[in-house]
Amino acid sequence: MASSLDSLLSKCTSLSLPHTKQLHAHLFTTGQFQLPISPSRSKLLELYALSLGKLSFAILAFTQIRTPSTNDWNAIIRGFIQSPNPTNAFAWYKSMISKSRKVDALTCSFVLKACARVLARLESIQIHTHIVRKGFIADALLGTTLLDVYAKVGDIDSAEKVFDEMVKRDIASWNALISGFAQWSKPTEALSLFNRMEIDGFKPNEISVLGALSACAQLGDFKRGEKIHGYIKDDRLDMNAQVCNAVIDMYAKCGFVDKAYLVFESMSCKKDIVTWNTMIMAFAMHGEGCKALELFEKMDQSGVNPDDVSYLAVLCACNHGGLVEEGFRLFNSMEKCGVKPNVKHYGSVVDLLGRAGRLHEAYDIVNSMPTMPDIVLWQTLLGASRTHRNLQAGIAQIHEEPPISSDFYVFSSK
């Protein structure tokens, strides 16, 4: 009976809460709950912690087990990965070791994933030591998880060392390091590794090209980016919106906004909010304010609601294009459209008005902020006063209604 239930549950990915509770009761009444090793019990904990998101239920059930197995511990640790408190996974891991429970490669992998979520470098180093000591380092999946954590916390040298020492690598191993190099401003190394991966016979996938395109964008390497784009089209990786967004961004940062727009227009997959924002920002970067505004309006008409990034992008476009009235109108419409302006939006519109010499309105905007203005905003406002040869008037105006922040007085005295 136990083995047939174990087999049945192994194929089960989810159950309703009432059915899971019935399973819990069944395991108790049949005595299976207290077996030294019970796949059904471990599955029960997984259902509570992962499928149902009821980690507290899983922990309560766990405390009722006289001798939890490694899989039981792993189920709880996995639950912490997607919880609001992933650091608790490491605490449970330490508790597991202190109680001399058997830790396996999966345990280490789950704890490392929790560390990656909170960028816990020191804890990752401790787990790395345990992995080496326990002889798990040959596990390709675990090695990839380890180098991915190091890459995400910014310890790229350790990530590269783990990669070089791996006996067996898979596509995920290459992708983790390529992405790490690209993320931490080592674009040359990212592209070199991308080349090496192809030479070693690994076929780049969506994750691979995302890292490579980011590296091309950082270097402004148009030719290499175009070559990667060709590969993306040939292998139909452009059915992925995230990949298309990266291609648009790469072309824009390499100075080819027309090519970026061609990719945008010819996308066969559905455009997401990031697609629209990337293209609007591309126009903004290249001083194409009117085109950015047109695209912003088109986005709204297509049923995609602008978010805070959309408004920042179009405000930047208005700023670079000198479109004062349009920018001011868009800023004033934000809250009506359900988007709350943040300090970057305020900074952009203050700069826009300041460049146009509309210092009184710029000051009114600063004064209307729900939070304390920072030094950058005062620098923007006073910089505009200097530009329009009205510095003393600008300072006097602000002194009439003194800002709460002392930063202003420090800056204006210079």
In terms of Cα–Cα distance, which of 180, 264, 239, 240 is closest to 214? Answer: 180
Q: In 215-326, at which residue ranges do the beta strands (DSSP E only) sit?
A: none
**Residues whose CB is less than 8 angstroms from the CB of residue 241 and which lie 6 or more positions away in sequence, other chains included:** 267, 269, 270, 271, 272, 274, 275
**pTM for this model (two decimals):** 0.84
**Residues whose CB is less than 8 angstroms from the CB of residue 66 and which lie 6 or more positions away in sequence, other chains included:** 34
Q: Where are the domains of the chain?
A: 273-341, 350-413
**Residues whose CB is less than 8 angstroms from the CB of residue 363 and which lie 6 or more positions away in sequence, other chains included:** 381, 394, 397, 398
Cα(147)–Cα(157) distance, rounded to whole angstroms? 10
The pLDDT score that the predictor gives to residue 391 is: 46
Sign of CA dihedral 99, 105, 109, 110: negative
Q: Mind listing the pLDDT tens digit of every residue in the chain (414 residues)?
A: 455 555 556 556 666 788 778 878 888 888 888 888 888 889 889 888 888 888 999 999 999 999 999 999 999 999 999 899 999 999 999 999 998 888 999 999 999 999 999 999 999 999 999 999 988 988 889 999 999 999 999 999 999 999 999 988 999 999 999 999 999 999 999 999 999 999 999 999 999 999 999 999 999 999 999 999 999 999 999 999 999 999 999 999 999 999 999 999 999 999 999 999 999 999 999 999 999 999 999 998 999 999 999 999 999 999 988 999 999 999 999 999 999 999 999 999 998 988 888 888 888 888 888 877 777 777 777 777 666 555 444 444 444 444 544 555 554 555
Q: 């830790």: which residue's tokens? A: 103
Contact 243, 214 (CB under 8 A): no
User: DSSP state, 238?
Assistant: G
